[in-house]
């Protein structure tokens, strides 16, 4: 079935293919040694050694930003390594681009699905490799080929002629797997594929993994759910800060030891002292339920920093969005200073005194082609200041540039030309100009360098001391632990527990990742 040879690009791939046939002992299908990948200001991977063997399911675990996705992207040919070697079937090869990666026998099932929803199942599976005669697609041959592939992974129930758009997420992932098998992939990567799946659907994907493994191929599975690791993995590789801290058989691990391995790092003194004194309650959520979160209740006080922790997709951002009028409440209440608010849109939230520094600065925070001054006064002009704002705006921008130490030649500079940290300071200033009561920060230090990060931490602290109520979402545990007075841990759209700001990373991760309640 899957042993059909895909037409390969001539050259080293041919050599690899023949090496595969003649290789006497089962060496690794895929390996990397001393792999390094640098981004401006960040070392994403350093000295990474990894081996993937035939007939195994290897789980990669680690915090957000630990380097798992970066390593996948190096194998997939999206990023080029800076140093070190990568080998396929024992032969050293530089992976040039995604097509090259594919021809080397690697396939990737990503969280964001890369299926074409408007095409049928068979057209998706055979996309780019259609069974055709003189340009005409042979539909029945396509259908039977697709059927065989789907049956081989236990998804024979999917009709090849169905539209992909009508399938469930797990079924769409199965289509991607069938496509990978059709392309003769030997190593199939699953990048957090189960994050958006329910338990039943996830089971189906695990069966697919077992099938792939049974054929002497390899599965690399990135997941944050440690119970899944215990269930399917043969081997576990733990990532931390761009390095691999441990790799071994799953029997050598327990869920607790995995968490410990993922953490084990000191929080440096970049964080200000947490001796703030929160006063009266400003914001209160009572059983807030939306499409994405259920029954979320908490309070936020003046002068307090509260963090929402949890995995990507656990509903943290959605809580902020509901407070900012971007998510419709199906039930529950949002109160500001005791008054029911339930904002219908951002304008209502802002007028009530709420500001949001959004998750993706570039696509949601700034207008890159306009000046620092315009970006800074965007919410203030015409709202807080109705008349004479043009002259005052320039003064205001200058004040904030001084006060916040925004490094820019002048307030007229295009914001797109500033560094990430300075752009973020402008976005924060935009809200401070409107005199808010509550500031929502979604990943405020994403993509900014270390120095700018500690500046941002001091800023957040001084804002809280100035009487602002701050709700912080961050995927960086150090940040959450270093800044927050209280930590609300989210899991699957609900608050799984509340921890004191002096808690440990392990406690937070346990609440966020483990299905069993530990507190």
> Which residues are at the interface with another protein (CB under 8 A)?
39-42, 44, 64-71, 191-192, 222, 312, 324, 326, 346-347, 350-351, 356, 358, 362-370, 374, 377-379, 381-383, 389-390, 414, 416-420, 430, 446-447
* Cβ distance to another protein smaller for residue 12 or 63: 63
Cβ 383 to another protein shortest distance, Å: 7
All residues at 6 or more sequence positions from 350 whose CB lies less than 8 Å from its CB, including other chains: 379, 383, 434, 436
* Cβ distance to another protein smaller for residue 17 or 326: 326
Burial code of 173-190, b = ≥16 C-beta within 10 A, e = fewer?
Answer: bbbbbbbbbbbbbbbbbb
Cβ 78 to another protein shortest distance, Å: 9
Helix residue ranges per DSSP H, 47-120: 68-76, 98-103
* Cβ distance to another protein smaller for residue 202 or 440: 440
What does the alpha-carbon distance between residue 290 and residue 286 come to, in Å, rounded to a whole number?
A: 12
169-182 and 199-214 helices, crossing angle to 10°: 10
Helix residue ranges per DSSP H, 215-264: 226-232, 255-262
* Cβ distance to another protein smaller for residue 66 or 490: 66
Cβ 369 to another protein shortest distance, Å: 5
* Cβ distance to another protein smaller for residue 282 or 366: 366
The two structure tokens encoding residue 2 = 């899957």
Which residues is 30 bridged to in the sheet?
A: 52, 88
* Cβ distance to another protein smaller for residue 137 or 450: 450
What does the alpha-carbon distance between residue 505 and residue 478 come to, in Å, rounded to a whole number?
A: 8
How many beta carbons lie within 10 A of that of residue 280, not counting itself?
A: 11
Cβ 74 to another protein shortest distance, Å: 11
* Cβ distance to another protein smaller for residue 294 or 384: 384
Cβ 137 to another protein shortest distance, Å: 30
Q: Contact, 188 vs 216, CB < 8 A?
A: no
What is the H or E stretch that residue 249 is in?
strand 243-249
Cβ 20 to another protein shortest distance, Å: 30
The two structure tokens encoding residue 36 = 């390094």
Cβ 384 to another protein shortest distance, Å: 10
């Amino acid at each position: 079935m899957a042993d059909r040879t895909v037409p390969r690009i001539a050259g080293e791939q041919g050599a690899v293919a023949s090496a595969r046939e003649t290789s006497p002992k089962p060496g690794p299908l895929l390996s990397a040694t001393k792999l390094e990948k640098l981004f401006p200001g960040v070392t994403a991977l350093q000295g990474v050694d990894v081996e993937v063997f035939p007939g195994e399911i290897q789980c990669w675990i680690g915090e957000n930003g630990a380097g798992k996705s970066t390593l996948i992207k190096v194998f997939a040919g999206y990023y080029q390594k800076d140093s070190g070697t990568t080998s396929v079937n024992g032969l050293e090869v530089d992976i040039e681009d995604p097509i090259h990666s594919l021809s080397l026998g690697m396939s990737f099932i990503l969280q964001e699905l890369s299926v074409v929803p408007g095409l049928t199942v068979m057209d998706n599976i055979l996309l780019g490799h259609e069974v055709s005669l003189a340009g005409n697609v042979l539909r029945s041959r396509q259908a039977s080929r697709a059927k065989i592939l789907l049956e081989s992974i236990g998804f024979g129930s999917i009709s090849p002629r169905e539209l992909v758009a009508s399938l469930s997420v797990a079924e769409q992932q199965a289509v991607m797997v069938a496509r990978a098998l059709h392309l003769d992939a030997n190593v199939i990567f699953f990048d957090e594929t189960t994050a958006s799946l329910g338990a039943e659907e996830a089971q189906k994907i695990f069966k697919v993994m077992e099938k792939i493994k049974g054929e002497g191929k390899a599965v690399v599975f990135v997941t944050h759910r440690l119970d899944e690791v215990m269930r399917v993995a043969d081997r576990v590789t733990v990532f931390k800060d761009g390095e691999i801290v441990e790799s071994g058989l799953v029997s050598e691990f327990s869920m607790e030891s995995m968490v410990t391995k993922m953490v084990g790092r000191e929080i440096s003194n970049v964080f200000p002292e947490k001796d703030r004194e929160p006063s009266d309650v400003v914001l209160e959520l009572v059983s807030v339920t939306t499409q994405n979160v259920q029954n979320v209740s908490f309070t936020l006080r003046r002068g307090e920093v509260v963090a929402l922790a949890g995995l990507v997709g656990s509903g943290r951002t959605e809580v902020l969005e509901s407070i900012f009028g971007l998510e419709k409440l199906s039930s529950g209440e949002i109160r500001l200073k005791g008054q029911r608010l339930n904002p219908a849109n951002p304008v209502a939230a802002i007028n009530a005194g709420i500001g949001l520094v959004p998750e993706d600065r570039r696509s949601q925070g700034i207008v890159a082609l306009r000046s620092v001054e315009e970006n800074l006064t965007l919410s203030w002009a015409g709202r807080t200041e109705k008349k004479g704002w043009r002259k005052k705006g320039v003064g205001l921008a200058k004040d904030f540039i001084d006060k916040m130490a925004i490094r820019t030649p002048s307030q007229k500079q295009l914001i797109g030309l500033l560094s990430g940290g300075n752009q973020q300071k402008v976005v924060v200033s935009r809200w401070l100009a409107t005199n808010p009561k509550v500031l929502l920060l979604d990943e405020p230090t994403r993509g900014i360098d270390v120095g700018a990060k500690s500046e941002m931490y001091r800023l957040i602290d001084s804002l809280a001391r100035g009487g602002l109520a701050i709700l912080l979402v961050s995927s960086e545990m150090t940040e959450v632990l270093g800044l927050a007075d209280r930590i609300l841990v989210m899991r699957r759209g609900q608050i799984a527990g509340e921890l004191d700001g002096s808690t440990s990373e392990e406690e937070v991760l346990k609440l966020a990742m483990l299905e069993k309640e530990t507190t």
